[in-house]
Structure 1
Amino acid sequence: MDFELRTIPGCPNDAAAKALFSEALSLEGFAPAALAVREVRNDDEAAALNFHGSPTFAVNGRDLFPTDNEPAVTCRVYPTPAGLRGNPELGTLRSAIREAAGRSAV
Protein backbone atom coordinates (compact mmCIF):
# COMPACT_ATOMS: atom_id res chain seq x y z
CA MET A 1 0.00 0.00 0.00
CA ASP A 2 1.10 3.54 -0.70
CA PHE A 3 0.67 6.10 2.07
CA GLU A 4 1.06 9.77 1.22
CA LEU A 5 0.64 12.97 3.19
CA ARG A 6 -0.06 15.88 0.86
CA THR A 7 0.66 19.39 2.06
CA ILE A 8 1.17 22.90 0.75
CA PRO A 9 4.23 25.10 1.33
CA GLY A 10 4.07 26.68 4.77
CA CYS A 11 1.19 24.53 6.05
CA PRO A 12 0.96 25.14 9.81
CA ASN A 13 -0.40 21.61 10.34
CA ASP A 14 2.05 19.55 8.30
CA ALA A 15 4.41 18.49 11.12
CA ALA A 16 1.50 17.44 13.36
CA ALA A 17 -0.16 15.69 10.39
CA LYS A 18 2.99 13.71 9.62
CA ALA A 19 3.33 12.63 13.27
CA LEU A 20 -0.37 11.73 13.40
CA PHE A 21 -0.28 9.73 10.15
CA SER A 22 2.90 7.91 11.27
CA GLU A 23 1.34 7.03 14.62
CA ALA A 24 -1.88 5.81 12.99
CA LEU A 25 0.07 3.67 10.52
CA SER A 26 2.13 2.14 13.30
CA LEU A 27 -0.94 1.37 15.39
CA GLU A 28 -2.54 -0.28 12.36
CA GLY A 29 0.51 -2.48 11.76
CA PHE A 30 2.07 -0.56 8.87
CA ALA A 31 5.63 0.76 8.80
CA PRO A 32 5.63 4.53 9.36
CA ALA A 33 8.72 4.69 7.13
CA ALA A 34 6.40 3.85 4.22
CA LEU A 35 4.83 7.31 4.53
CA ALA A 36 5.74 9.68 1.71
CA VAL A 37 5.21 13.43 1.88
CA ARG A 38 4.28 15.40 -1.23
CA GLU A 39 4.12 19.17 -1.41
CA VAL A 40 1.43 20.48 -3.73
CA ARG A 41 2.58 23.82 -5.11
CA ASN A 42 0.02 24.99 -7.66
CA ASP A 43 -3.54 24.64 -8.90
CA ASP A 44 -2.55 22.32 -11.76
CA GLU A 45 -1.00 19.84 -9.31
CA ALA A 46 -4.02 20.20 -7.03
CA ALA A 47 -6.38 19.38 -9.89
CA ALA A 48 -4.28 16.44 -11.10
CA LEU A 49 -4.18 14.95 -7.57
CA ASN A 50 -7.78 15.87 -6.73
CA PHE A 51 -6.22 17.69 -3.78
CA HIS A 52 -8.67 19.52 -1.50
CA GLY A 53 -6.32 21.20 0.91
CA SER A 54 -3.49 20.68 3.33
CA PRO A 55 -3.03 18.33 5.00
CA THR A 56 -4.53 15.53 2.93
CA PHE A 57 -4.12 11.91 4.00
CA ALA A 58 -4.04 9.51 1.04
CA VAL A 59 -3.78 5.74 0.62
CA ASN A 60 -3.06 4.33 -2.82
CA GLY A 61 -3.64 7.81 -4.25
CA ARG A 62 -7.13 8.19 -2.73
CA ASP A 63 -8.05 10.84 -0.20
CA LEU A 64 -9.07 9.16 3.05
CA PHE A 65 -11.57 11.96 3.70
CA PRO A 66 -13.28 12.62 0.34
CA THR A 67 -15.02 15.93 -0.17
CA ASP A 68 -17.03 17.63 -2.88
CA ASN A 69 -14.95 20.83 -2.60
CA GLU A 70 -13.05 21.96 -5.64
CA PRO A 71 -9.34 21.05 -5.75
CA ALA A 72 -7.27 23.94 -4.38
CA VAL A 73 -3.93 24.92 -2.87
CA THR A 74 -5.33 25.87 0.52
CA CYS A 75 -5.54 24.84 4.16
CA ARG A 76 -8.00 22.17 5.17
CA VAL A 77 -9.99 21.48 8.31
CA TYR A 78 -11.50 18.30 9.72
CA PRO A 79 -14.55 17.89 11.96
CA THR A 80 -13.66 16.66 15.45
CA PRO A 81 -15.61 16.44 18.70
CA ALA A 82 -13.90 19.71 19.70
CA GLY A 83 -14.94 21.45 16.47
CA LEU A 84 -13.06 22.04 13.22
CA ARG A 85 -9.32 21.36 13.49
CA GLY A 86 -6.32 21.21 11.17
CA ASN A 87 -6.08 17.42 11.55
CA PRO A 88 -8.57 14.61 12.12
CA GLU A 89 -8.72 12.70 15.40
CA LEU A 90 -6.36 9.70 15.68
CA GLY A 91 -9.26 7.23 15.92
CA THR A 92 -10.94 8.69 12.86
CA LEU A 93 -7.72 8.44 10.85
CA ARG A 94 -7.14 4.86 12.02
CA SER A 95 -10.66 3.90 10.92
CA ALA A 96 -10.10 5.48 7.50
CA ILE A 97 -6.81 3.59 7.09
CA ARG A 98 -8.49 0.30 8.05
CA GLU A 99 -11.30 0.93 5.57
CA ALA A 100 -8.82 1.73 2.78
CA ALA A 101 -6.88 -1.43 3.62
CA GLY A 102 -10.07 -3.51 3.65
CA ARG A 103 -9.54 -4.53 7.27
CA SER A 104 -11.77 -4.53 10.33
CA ALA A 105 -10.89 -3.06 13.72
CA VAL A 106 -7.98 -4.69 15.51
Structure 2
Amino acid sequence: MQITIALPDNLPLTEADVRIELAIVLYQQHSLSLDKVAQLAKISADDFYQILINRDIVTPPADPDDELAELILASLRNSMPQVKQGKLHPISELWQGIVKLYS
Protein backbone atom coordinates (compact mmCIF):
# COMPACT_ATOMS: atom_id res chain seq x y z
CA MET A 1 0.00 0.00 0.00
CA GLN A 2 1.29 3.44 -0.85
CA ILE A 3 0.08 6.65 0.71
CA THR A 4 0.63 10.06 -0.83
CA ILE A 5 0.78 13.08 1.43
CA ALA A 6 0.83 16.60 0.02
CA LEU A 7 3.07 18.83 2.13
CA PRO A 8 3.26 22.61 1.88
CA ASP A 9 6.18 23.91 -0.19
CA ASN A 10 7.45 26.04 2.67
CA LEU A 11 7.64 23.14 5.14
CA PRO A 12 11.15 23.06 6.63
CA LEU A 13 11.27 19.25 6.50
CA THR A 14 12.54 16.98 3.77
CA GLU A 15 10.87 13.74 2.78
CA ALA A 16 13.60 11.92 4.71
CA ASP A 17 12.81 13.99 7.83
CA VAL A 18 9.10 13.19 7.56
CA ARG A 19 9.84 9.48 7.12
CA ILE A 20 12.02 9.45 10.24
CA GLU A 21 9.47 11.37 12.32
CA LEU A 22 6.67 9.04 11.25
CA ALA A 23 8.84 5.99 11.93
CA ILE A 24 9.63 7.26 15.44
CA VAL A 25 5.94 7.74 16.25
CA LEU A 26 5.08 4.26 14.95
CA TYR A 27 7.92 2.74 16.95
CA GLN A 28 6.86 4.53 20.14
CA GLN A 29 3.30 3.31 19.66
CA HIS A 30 4.61 -0.25 19.22
CA SER A 31 2.86 -0.34 15.85
CA LEU A 32 5.90 -1.66 13.96
CA SER A 33 9.09 -3.47 14.87
CA LEU A 34 12.47 -1.79 14.76
CA ASP A 35 13.39 -3.31 11.40
CA LYS A 36 10.07 -2.26 9.84
CA VAL A 37 10.30 1.35 11.02
CA ALA A 38 13.90 1.51 9.83
CA GLN A 39 12.72 0.32 6.40
CA LEU A 40 10.03 3.01 6.46
CA ALA A 41 12.65 5.62 7.31
CA LYS A 42 14.89 4.17 4.56
CA ILE A 43 17.85 3.81 6.92
CA SER A 44 19.51 0.89 8.66
CA ALA A 45 18.14 -0.46 11.93
CA ASP A 46 21.42 0.54 13.61
CA ASP A 47 21.11 4.14 12.36
CA PHE A 48 17.46 4.32 13.40
CA TYR A 49 18.32 2.94 16.82
CA GLN A 50 21.01 5.61 17.18
CA ILE A 51 18.40 8.28 16.44
CA LEU A 52 16.24 6.81 19.21
CA ILE A 53 19.21 6.95 21.60
CA ASN A 54 20.05 10.54 20.60
CA ARG A 55 16.47 11.59 21.35
CA ASP A 56 16.43 9.76 24.70
CA ILE A 57 13.63 7.47 23.50
CA VAL A 58 15.65 4.36 24.31
CA THR A 59 18.62 3.80 26.59
CA PRO A 60 21.86 2.58 25.05
CA PRO A 61 23.27 -0.71 26.35
CA ALA A 62 25.59 -0.35 29.34
CA ASP A 63 28.35 -2.18 27.46
CA PRO A 64 28.91 -0.71 23.97
CA ASP A 65 29.92 -4.19 22.74
CA ASP A 66 26.50 -5.59 23.66
CA GLU A 67 23.96 -5.49 20.89
CA LEU A 68 20.34 -5.41 21.91
CA ALA A 69 18.25 -8.43 21.00
CA GLU A 70 15.93 -6.14 19.01
CA LEU A 71 18.80 -5.02 16.76
CA ILE A 72 19.96 -8.60 16.27
CA LEU A 73 16.43 -9.72 15.35
CA ALA A 74 16.03 -6.77 12.98
CA SER A 75 19.27 -7.69 11.26
CA LEU A 76 18.21 -11.33 10.93
CA ARG A 77 14.78 -10.38 9.56
CA ASN A 78 16.41 -8.17 6.94
CA SER A 79 19.02 -10.77 6.04
CA MET A 80 16.73 -13.78 5.57
CA PRO A 81 15.01 -12.51 2.38
CA GLN A 82 18.43 -11.63 0.98
CA VAL A 83 19.68 -15.15 1.72
CA LYS A 84 16.61 -16.66 0.04
CA GLN A 85 17.24 -14.49 -3.04
CA GLY A 86 20.89 -15.54 -3.12
CA LYS A 87 22.11 -12.02 -2.37
CA LEU A 88 24.12 -13.06 0.70
CA HIS A 89 26.86 -15.65 0.80
CA PRO A 90 28.34 -17.80 3.55
CA ILE A 91 31.23 -16.18 5.37
CA SER A 92 33.52 -18.93 4.10
CA GLU A 93 32.90 -17.77 0.51
CA LEU A 94 33.54 -14.16 1.47
CA TRP A 95 36.76 -15.11 3.24
CA GLN A 96 37.95 -17.03 0.17
CA GLY A 97 37.37 -13.91 -1.93
CA ILE A 98 39.37 -11.79 0.50
CA VAL A 99 42.25 -14.30 0.53
CA LYS A 100 42.33 -14.25 -3.29
CA LEU A 101 42.50 -10.45 -3.31
CA TYR A 102 45.58 -10.38 -1.11
CA SER A 103 47.36 -13.46 -2.45
Is TM more than 0.5 here? no
In the superposition, the TM-score normalised over structure 2's length comes to 0.29
As a proportion of its length, which structure holds more strand? 1
As a proportion of its length, which structure holds more helix? 2
In the superposition, the TM-score normalised over structure 1's length comes to 0.29
- Decide which structure has the larger Cα Rg and report it: 2
